[in-house]
Amino acid sequence: MNAQKPKELLYCPLGGAGEIGMNLYLYGYGTPGEHEWIIVDCGITFGDDSMPGVDVVMADPAFIEEHAPYISAIVLTHAHEDHLGAVPYLWHRFRVPVYATPFAAAFLKRKLAETDLVNMVPIKKVPLGGKFSAGPFDMEFVSMTHSIPEPNALVIRTPEGTIVHTGDFKFDPEPVICDEADEDRLEELGDEGVLALVCDSTNVFSPGTSHSEGALEESLTKAIGQCRQKVAVTCFASNIARLETIYRAAQANDRDVVLVGRSLRRMDEVARETGYLDDIPPFVTEKEAGYIPEDKILIICTGSQGEPQAALSKIAEGTHPNISLKAGDTVIFSSRTIPGNEKSIGKLQNMLVRREIDVVTDKDAFIHVSGHPARDELAKMYQLIRPQLAVPMHGELRHLNANADLALECNVPESIVIENGEVLRLAPGPVEVVDTVETGRLVWEGKRLVPLDGELLRGRKRALFNGAVVVSLALDEKGKIVSGPKITQQGLLEGDEDQDVLYSIVDDIYEAVERLSRKDKRDDEVVDEEVRLATRRGFRKIFGKKPITSVHLLRV
């Protein structure tokens, strides 16, 4: 009789380990080759200058998609886009229930309402601190604090041990709209025994603590009080506590508040639907704002990261239909700069300064606090949980390594750093990487998902930097050119630059065709390739460019 294979507990990040954003983590339990899985978070990141035409990027779930029949659930730790934003794009590949606390569930429903999945995705609402099960996993949410309502650490219990996945968190003694983190429950978990703590690494290089949301009201009140004309404050739309803080600071300065930006209005609706902002009256509408004196109005708007389609960019350009700013007005950036957004934020701020609008950032005043744990808070988490193993996540490699070192300093017996695609066996036996799976990124392009490293975007980048050319010509059956060649180009000639420079390339094409043998002149593939190469050589000689070149060949 064959001995039964021992069951094992696995962890594999597909996104979020080795980078900030695009979180997608897998936990598997079962015998080798027969694991059951849960997905923890399913988020997006955003495109940058290296991805022309791309707004949304997400982890490629190809590995776990192959195991779709054995996925028990998607579990969302909170409602930030980098943790749930990919659900509308990827859920159809898994078709499993989605577990979330009320705020994240309500936000996800609104996102799904914009797709054809609105009535298809089974969303299982879990109360704060609630327990639930999926497949072989018994789970529990532990309430934390962060820059959005209802952030949760996720407790995952299996026969091989307990994992605590922190999600995004901080220890905020005055979180404004939510209760403080449930430190008593975290300590109880530590007493029970935790095999592994999979932990946020974002602010590991920041000493001390990340400061409290409640501490901002006084400083924001002072900053707004120094303004004599119109004031706009830009912040992350999901930071509902910041909306309340800004509102109270505005009230202290006798200003009414208007929300500007679709994502802000949606978050306001979700917050009120789920019991937040109850003591804040409805915000002023954009149209009503025009009737309020300039020194009595405060605008909260989207666009803190310089997003070109967000409200603040349109206001700065003077193209917003309802809201305007002029010289002497003030814009307060109550937000941090997400790495990679420096250029777009700088461009936006320069645009404002050029119009003599005052710009205030967190370098000028205490107007923002982070939602992630600084070093003292990370140490506190390790001291409460006391895991056998620390596995850093949610950070670039340098963050993960620093967090792993900090865990050892906090007397955690063992720490290990893995990046996207590495499969870590947590138990039984020694902790080790047992496999590596292919990972990649998908982008939402138009109305479809395509690989980030696929031919479509590679071709677009080549065309962006080298231009594109189409050569059209007609040949008779013997291979003599009877019409053309006609050259159409994009991105190679400047304005009314003399088209005569293309005549030499036309001559090169004639000569290339003439050099062909009689047999080759009758072969469309041979002629096509020879014309393409002659065209590229000509553009390289004249312009120093190798454009993407297509040939349209017609036989007459």
For the cut 50, the answer to whether the pLDDT of residue 1 exceeds it is no
Here the CATH number for the domain that contains residue 140 is: 3.60.15.10
Distance CA 266, CA 154 (A): 26
Least confident of 155-159, 180-184, 501-505: 501-505
What pLDDT, on a 0 to 100 scale, did the predictor assign at position 538? 84
In a domain, 2, yes or no: no
> What is the percent of the chain with per-residue pLDDT over 90, rounded to a whole number?
70
* Termini Cα distance of the chain: 76
Hey, what are 450's tokens? Answer: 């395509």
Contacts for 181 with CB less than 8 Å, ≥ 6 apart: 143, 144, 145, 169, 170, 171, 172
In a domain, 122, yes or no: yes
Least confident of 47-51, 130-134, 294-298, 353-357: 47-51
Nearest to 247 by CA among 270, 275, 276, 206: 276
In a domain, 3, yes or no: no
**Which of 448, 467, 497 is at the close of a domain?**
448
What pLDDT, on a 0 to 100 scale, did the predictor assign at position 339? 74
Hey, what are 162's tokens? Answer: 């307990």
**Which of 337, 360, 383 is at the close of a domain?**
360
pTM: 0.87
What pLDDT, on a 0 to 100 scale, did the predictor assign at position 428? 95
Q: Are residues 266 and 331 in the same domain?
A: yes
What's the burial of 247, exposed, middle or buried (CB within 10 Å: 0-12/13-18/19+)? buried
Hey, what are 61's tokens? Answer: 């779930």
Q: What is the dihedral of CA 274, 187, 168, 414, to 10 degrees?
A: -160
In a domain, 354, yes or no: yes
- Residue-range definition of the domain harbouring residue 289: 214-360
Here the CATH number for the domain that contains residue 500 is: 3.10.20.580
For the cut 90, the answer to whether the pLDDT of residue 143 exceeds it is yes
User: How many CA within 13 A on the CB side of residue 335?
Assistant: 27
Confidence of residue 176 (pLDDT cuts 50, 70, 90): very high
Rg (CA), the chain: 29
What single letter denotes the amino acid at residue 53? G
For the cut 80, the answer to whether the pLDDT of residue 335 exceeds it is yes
Q: Which string of DSSP letters, residue by residue, matches 296-338?
A: GEEEEES-TT--TTSHHHHHHHT--SS----TT-EEEE-S---
**Which of 404, 426, 448 is at the close of a domain?**
448
Nearest-5° angle of CA 404, CA 386, CA 206? 45
Give mean pLDDT, residues 102-108: 97
For the cut 90, the answer to whether the pLDDT of residue 272 exceeds it is yes
Based on the structure, what is the number of domains in the chain?
3
**In the chain, what is the greatest distance between 2 CA atoms, to the nearest angstrom?**
88
What pLDDT, on a 0 to 100 scale, did the predictor assign at position 431? 96
What pLDDT, on a 0 to 100 scale, did the predictor assign at position 51? 61
For the cut 90, the answer to whether the pLDDT of residue 132 exceeds it is yes
In a domain, 45, yes or no: yes
Hey, what are 206's tokens? Answer: 């920041």
Distance CA 450, CA 441 (A): 9
| pLDDT one-digit tens code per residue, 51-102 | 655 678 899 999 999 999 999 999 999 999 999 999 999 999 999 999 999 9
Element (DSSP H or E) covering residue 400: helix 397-409
The SS3 of residue 32 is coil
How do the residues of the chain divide into helix, strand and coil, expressed in percent and rounded to 5? 30, 25, 40
Hey, what are 299's tokens? Answer: 């605008």
Using DSSP bridges, classify how beta strands 131-134 and 137-143 pair: parallel, antiparallel or unpaired: antiparallel
Hey, what are 48's tokens? Answer: 């940058």
Contact 470, 487 (CB under 8 A): yes
Q: Are residues 293 and 392 in the same domain?
A: no
What pLDDT, on a 0 to 100 scale, did the predictor assign at position 189? 98
Give mean pLDDT, residues 187-216: 96
What pLDDT, on a 0 to 100 scale, did the predictor assign at position 452? 65
**b vs e for 99-133, b when ≥16 Cβ sit within 10 Å of the residue's Cβ?**
bbbbbbbbbbbebbeeeeeeeebebeebebeeebe
Give the C-alpha distances (Å, rounded to integers) separating 495 from 172, 463, 465, 489, 547.
57, 18, 17, 12, 18
In a domain, 131, yes or no: yes
Distance CA 414, CA 393 (A): 15
Neighbours of 337 (CB within 10 A): 16
Contact 81, 43 (CB under 8 A): yes
| pLDDT one-digit tens code per residue, 352-391 | 999 999 999 999 999 999 999 999 999 999 999 999 999 9
Distance CA 191, CA 367 (A): 38
Give mean pLDDT, residues 114-134: 94
The SS3 of residue 338 is coil
What single letter denotes the amino acid at residue 368? H
Contacts for 281 with CB less than 8 Å, ≥ 6 apart: none
Q: Are residues 197 and 49 in the same domain?
A: yes
Distance CA 136, CA 35 (A): 10
For the cut 90, the answer to whether the pLDDT of residue 274 exceeds it is yes
Q: Where are the beta strands (DSSP E) in 394-532?
A: 395-396, 414-415, 422-427, 432-436, 441-445, 448-451, 468-475, 481-490
Element (DSSP H or E) covering residue 462: helix 455-466
Q: Which string of DSSP letters, residue by residue, matches 191-214?
A: HH--SEEEEE-TTTTS-S----GG
Least confident of 51-65, 195-209, 224-238, 523-537: 51-65
Q: Are residues 191 and 235 in the same domain?
A: no
For the cut 80, the answer to whether the pLDDT of residue 171 exceeds it is yes
Q: Are residues 390 and 459 in the same domain?
A: no
Q: Which sign, positive or negative, has the C-alpha torsion 93, 95, 99, 102?
A: positive
Q: Are residues 134 and 59 in the same domain?
A: yes
What single letter denotes the amino acid at residue 403? N
For tokens 């590949």, the residue is: 93
Q: Are residues 308 and 171 in the same domain?
A: no
In a domain, 126, yes or no: yes
Q: Are residues 190 and 237 in the same domain?
A: no
Neighbours of 409 (CB within 10 A): 11
The SS3 of residue 530 is helix
Give mean pLDDT, residues 119-132: 96
Here the CATH number for the domain that contains residue 242 is: 3.40.50.10710
Q: Are residues 158 and 193 in the same domain?
A: yes
In a domain, 312, yes or no: yes
Contacts for 223 with CB less than 8 Å, ≥ 6 apart: 249, 332, 360, 365, 367
Q: Are residues 175 and 222 in the same domain?
A: no
What pLDDT, on a 0 to 100 scale, did the predictor assign at position 489? 78
For tokens 């007609």, the residue is: 474
Q: Are residues 123 and 103 in the same domain?
A: yes
> What is the percent of the chain with per-residue pLDDT over 70, rounded to a whole number?
94
Nearest to 416 by CA among 429, 430, 428: 430
Element (DSSP H or E) covering residue 554: strand 548-555
Give mean pLDDT, residues 512-535: 85
Distance CA 394, CA 159 (A): 26
Q: Are residues 232 and 168 in the same domain?
A: no
- Which residue would you say has higher pLDDT here, 546 or 22? 22
